[in-house]
Structure 1
């Protein structure tokens, strides 16, 4: 590990990750004080590096709870949380070093790199969606969506917020960042803080992931309305219409079998219209690269000043 003597603790929640060693190796150049892996796999992972602290929980633990366990053991002034399928680049390592050295008071969130030439279709689509939502979708005062795949913050801020909610399995990042927002903590999304996402999706896994997240978002917002007061989960028309069209596909299949045949064309027409809207919107939404410069265009103003 590079000897830059940063007061920084890296925390990796993990469960049966085949990429754990790759993730750890991508973080060594930062020169952090420590790397803490909190793993809840059935079998103990093969992490033998003397500069890596392994906390093996032996039973499945939600990512938020695993991050809390790692943070409780951390010694650094800053904490950086990295998912076990997120690999840093040279640019992201430099971005972390620069943020810690300038004593940032903001939560620094990263984004994924989308490899349009080499990524399979569904992983590419997922990465483009996340990139759009975090760096290119126009923001308003009610947009409060951030991703916990890799982010950096002061440890005392993390403790002030109270860490992640241990009882939430999915959508825990949005709930956590909403509490940060409620305390007035500022956010930055820096384009240099990039990472490669190793999670692979097929069509079934892609749909299941979104249905699962959508269901949990409603559950969490209903359970903790005070946390989300004044915030909104604005997704943009392409994402909303895509979800709506996808949700209606199985209902159309059932209705076409039970309703009178005279109504089937009307139902099919509505479904096709909903499907056609996202098809027209996605190319417009996803084309092109993130805007030039080191920060998202809407970062100036509400959250913090651009460098």
Structure 2
């Protein structure tokens, strides 16, 4: 038996008021436990006000509770202290892990110097509104096309060797008091040790979160773009991968020009040919994404996704530019903390 096949896996699921989700997310993991594919399923109740802990225990999981509500990072750190497995497999409480997850984790860990692996959402998210499908499919799109070696980590469905997790100090719950980019920052520290993080497209889970434009904007800007921009600027700058790749930056620049031309139209109506040209160029530049969206929702779905995606580029890039100004001009170099309101 190879070393990778002998590695034991502890599933870690942070859960807060997840009673309504557990009947869907726990059964696949309990089946893995019964089949011996994982050593334990740890559900960490983060001071829920519903019956999360009792239901998880009845369904066969090992349950522990955080002393105070500290967010998923604190819950994962607590589980890691007591986990028995060689590998910590983090699965969010709104993700249904696919049955072949342990196989893909062990296969990835068999590669040279790999300390962590993460996957993606599957192509059948739960939320059926066009916007919710767009958000979940977009996440999948980037992860499915990512480079094999990553510089970040994703804790929605990702695994880390337990000894490496402890070596680097786990999730930074002092800087990131609320869920944001604590997994991305953890990935930075793992890579700094000289070890590898790989993206395994076959490691998948179904996302049950239903997105709205309102909760998406808040999450994208305040929990992702702002803290991630500040982290990149303070560490190593933009990375050429996922949604910060060189091509993504060029697409963001094109979206910015399109946005400016639309703002100028009321004052300079003769600009409309340029605006139409920029719209066409935006669709051409995002043709692969448009095809992906069309495959899952038809032509009109793809059109709506690509048009909104231009807005996504504009506000994400604007946040990064603001953070550059904040860091280099205003001299605010220590604004990494994400605190509770």
TM (norm. structure 2) is: 0.65
Q: Which residue of 1 aligns with 2:163?
A: 156
Q: Which has the larger displacement, 23-32 or 269-278?
A: 269-278
- Determine the C-alpha separation between the residues in 2 that align with 1:101 and 1:120: 39
- Determine the C-alpha separation between the residues in 1 that align with 2:259 and 2:42: 40
Decide whether the 8 Å contact of 1:241 with 1:274 is kept in 2: no
Distance change (3 Å), C-alpha of 1:136 and 1:229: same
Q: Which residue of 2 aligns with 1:35?
A: 41
- Tell me by how many angstroms 1:36 deviates: 1.1
Aligned match for 1:86, one of 84, 91, 95: 95
Distance change (3 Å), C-alpha of 1:273 and 1:76: same
Decide whether the 8 Å contact of 1:15 with 1:39 is kept in 2: yes
- Tell me by how many angstroms 1:215 deviates: 1.9
- Determine the C-alpha separation between the residues in 2 that align with 1:146 and 1:243: 27
Decide whether the 8 Å contact of 1:38 with 1:67 is kept in 2: yes
- 2:208 equivalent to 1:208: no
- Tell me by how many angstroms 1:165 deviates: 0.4
Query: Counterpart of 2:25 in 1: which secondary structure?
Result: helix
RMSD: 4.0
Distance change (3 Å), C-alpha of 1:153 and 1:243: farther
What is the total number of aligned residue pairs between the two structures? 272
- Determine the C-alpha separation between the residues in 2 that align with 1:286 and 1:264: 30
- Determine the C-alpha separation between the residues in 1 that align with 2:153 and 2:79: 21
Query: Counterpart of 2:239 in 1: which secondary structure?
Result: coil
- 2:205 equivalent to 1:199: no
Decide whether the 8 Å contact of 1:6 with 1:33 is kept in 2: no
Q: Give matches, 1:247-286, under 5 Å.
A: 263=267, 278-286=282-290
Q: Which residue of 2 aligns with 1:74?
A: 83
- Determine the C-alpha separation between the residues in 2 that align with 1:266 and 1:38: 60
Distance change (3 Å), C-alpha of 1:242 and 1:131: farther
Decide whether the 8 Å contact of 2:152 with 2:185 is kept in 1: no
- Determine the C-alpha separation between the residues in 2 that align with 1:242 and 1:67: 40
- Tell me by how many angstroms 1:117 deviates: 11
TM (norm. structure 1) is: 0.71
Distance change (3 Å), C-alpha of 1:246 and 1:68: farther
Q: Which has the larger displacement, 26-35 or 53-62?
A: 53-62
Gaps of 5+ in 2: 294-341
- Determine the C-alpha separation between the residues in 1 that align with 2:85 and 2:117: 16
Q: Which has the higher helix share?
A: 2
Aligned match for 2:24, one of 18, 22, 46: 22
Decide whether the 8 Å contact of 2:125 with 2:137 is kept in 1: no
Gaps of 5+ in 1: 290-307
